[in-house]
């Protein structure tokens, strides 16, 4: 009886939104049908007349609750900027039954129109228009939750991001800690993440260092140096090429050699649980291209190689490394709760290098979804251990929004 009802419950199959509490609804239906078919018994007792009406009343109340929940969910939209990981985010939202909105630059309209899971495009000349009243009121009318990603951080100041009126998924205040190198270092120390040493003055460079720009620059304009002279020569060269500006504050860090690993996590404030999602590697140009050139030719090159991210590929870790991975993730979540309320909610990434002793050194974190999660649009190896369904990071975000809406806790997962 239970299976029969499940298969024919058209509301359930059409909307696909009855995952939680579904069992109770079915159980109630099953009891009623059982009663109709075997009117003389109800749970082994003789049927009283008012039993039947009581059950019908219960079902009606439950159906009304379910329909209310569906309507609430249908009324929520997921919005993001058209770049970085927007396809994954919106596909995940659509799969979860939410409306999808893309803030799309005019020049990319043709690209994004190819994807049928995007319900609405807000066409803009520049992403900064997301701050304008016009754009914000469209998002407000749709009860949208904005999913922040690298493009938002790269193109807007922390003040601008913090001024966004639309609820931002996760913690918008922590994005400032991602953008500012000094603050970033402070949070990483608080989380006891093992880090390559920072070098505060170029004159102290006595080993290989990497010189970085502020914000989510994607590695463009970074350079390596092994002495103060090299630092100044390369900096001047990049300024003359227009890659760096004269007054740009650069961040110098000891270069960590080894296997690059970008560890992707999701922290659910609703479940108060950390999930390890996956690992990726970034492919960066043109530093990777250097390895394909014989040393003799490399020595003749005058161009300063960059670390511009071109794409990502998957990586799985030795299982013995997982314990430390969870520990680092949990330490990061705890540290961010102490330092930047409400803490590191939603997706984040700890980025670094495993050395020859499989010791991890973290040079960076991202306090939001990373583009490296795009490689797992059909689910990641580690999520397949936690979920019995294909679960991308975009879908995980949408699932969290849906759960929060259903339980009236949207405030807990947005800022």
The least distance separating ligand AMP from the CB of residue 14, rounded to whole angstroms, comes to 44
The least distance separating ligand AMP from the CB of residue 352, rounded to whole angstroms, comes to 8
The least distance separating ligand AMP from the CB of residue 217, rounded to whole angstroms, comes to 7
The least distance separating ligand AMP from the CB of residue 250, rounded to whole angstroms, comes to 12
- Nearer residue to ligand AMP within complex by CB, 218 or 379: 218
Interface residues with ligand AMP (CB under 6 A)?
Answer: 196, 210, 212, 219, 222, 253, 255-256, 260, 282, 284, 307, 351, 353, 363-364
How many Å from the N-terminal Cα to the C-terminal Cα in the chain? Answer: 45
Helix (H, G, I), strand (E, B) or coil at 313: strand
Q: Which residue has the tokens 């100041």?
A: 157
- Nearer residue to ligand AMP within complex by CB, 196 or 329: 196
The least distance separating ligand AMP from the CB of residue 366, rounded to whole angstroms, comes to 8
Q: How many alpha carbons fall within 13 Å on the CB side of residue 242? A: 0
Helix (H, G, I), strand (E, B) or coil at 360: strand
| DSSP per-residue string spanning 136-159 | HHHHHHTTEEE---HHHHHHS-HH
The least distance separating ligand AMP from the CB of residue 179, rounded to whole angstroms, comes to 11
- Measure the CA dihedral 405/407/410/412, to 10°: -150
Give me the phi and psi of 330, to 5 degrees please. -70, -40
How far apart, in Å, are the Cα atoms of 384 and each of 124, 381, 388?
Answer: 38, 5, 6
Q: Which distant-in-sequence residues (6+ apart) come within 8 Å of 272 by Cβ?
A: none
- Nearer residue to ligand AMP within complex by CB, 127 or 363: 363
Q: What is the CA angle 241-247-248, rounded to 5?
A: 75
- Nearer residue to ligand AMP within complex by CB, 127 or 223: 223
- Nearer residue to ligand AMP within complex by CB, 97 or 198: 198
The least distance separating ligand AMP from the CB of residue 406, rounded to whole angstroms, comes to 36
- Rounded Cα distance between 382 and 380, Å, is 5
- Nearer residue to ligand AMP within complex by CB, 184 or 399: 184
- Nearer residue to ligand AMP within complex by CB, 69 or 84: 84
List 284's β-bridge partners, or say none.
309
């Amino acid at each position: 009886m239970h299976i029969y009802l499940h298969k024919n419950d058209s509301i359930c199959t059409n909307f696909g939104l009855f995952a939680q509490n579904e069992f109770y609804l079915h159980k109630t239906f099953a009891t009623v049908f059982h009663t109709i078919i075997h009117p003389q018994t109800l749970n082994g007792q003789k049927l009283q007349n008012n039993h039947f009406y009581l059950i019908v009343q219960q079902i009606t109340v439950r159906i009304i609750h379910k329909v209310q929940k569906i309507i609430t969910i249908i009324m929520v939209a997921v919005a993001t900027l058209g770049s970085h990981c927007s396809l994954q985010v919106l596909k995940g939202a659509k799969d979860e039954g939410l409306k999808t909105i893309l803030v799309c630059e005019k020049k990319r309209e043709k690209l994004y129109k190819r994807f049928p899971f995007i319900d609405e495009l807000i066409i803009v000349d520049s992403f900064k228009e997301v701050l304008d009243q016009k754009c914000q009121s469209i998002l407000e009318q749709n009860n949208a939750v904005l999913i922040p990603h690298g493009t938002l951080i790269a193109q807007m100041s922390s003040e601008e991001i913090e001024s966004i009126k639309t609820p931002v998924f996760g913690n918008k205040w922590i994005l400032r800690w991602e953008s500012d190198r000094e603050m970033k270092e402070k949070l990483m120390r608080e989380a006891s993440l093992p880090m390559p040493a920072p070098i505060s003055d170029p004159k102290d460079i006595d080993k290989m260092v990497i010189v970085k720009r502020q914000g989510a620059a994607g590695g463009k304009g970074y350079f390596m140096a092994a002495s103060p002279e090299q630092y100044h020569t390369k900096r001047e060269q990049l300024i003359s090429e227009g890659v760096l500006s004269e007054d740009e504050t650069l961040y110098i860090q000891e270069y960590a050699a080894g296997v690059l690993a970008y560890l992707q996590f999701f922290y659910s404030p609703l479940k108060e649980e950390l999930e390890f999602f996956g690992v990726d590697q970034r492919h960066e140009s043109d530093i990777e291209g250097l390895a394909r050139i014989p040393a003799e030719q490399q020595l003749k090159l005058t161009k300063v190689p960059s670390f511009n991210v071109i794409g990502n590929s998957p990586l799985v870790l030795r299982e013995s490394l997982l314990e430390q991975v969870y520990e680092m993730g949990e330490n990061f979540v705890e540290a961010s709760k102490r330092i930047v309320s409400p803490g590191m909610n939603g997706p984040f990434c700890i980025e670094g290098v495993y050395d020859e002793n499989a010791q991890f050194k973290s040079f960076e974190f991202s306090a939001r979804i990373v583009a490296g999660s795009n490689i797992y649009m059909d689910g990641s190896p580690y999520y397949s251990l936690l979920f019995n369904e294909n679960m991308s990071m975009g879908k995980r975000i949408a699932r969290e929004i849906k759960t929060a809406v259903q339980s009236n806790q949207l405030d807990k997962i947005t800022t």
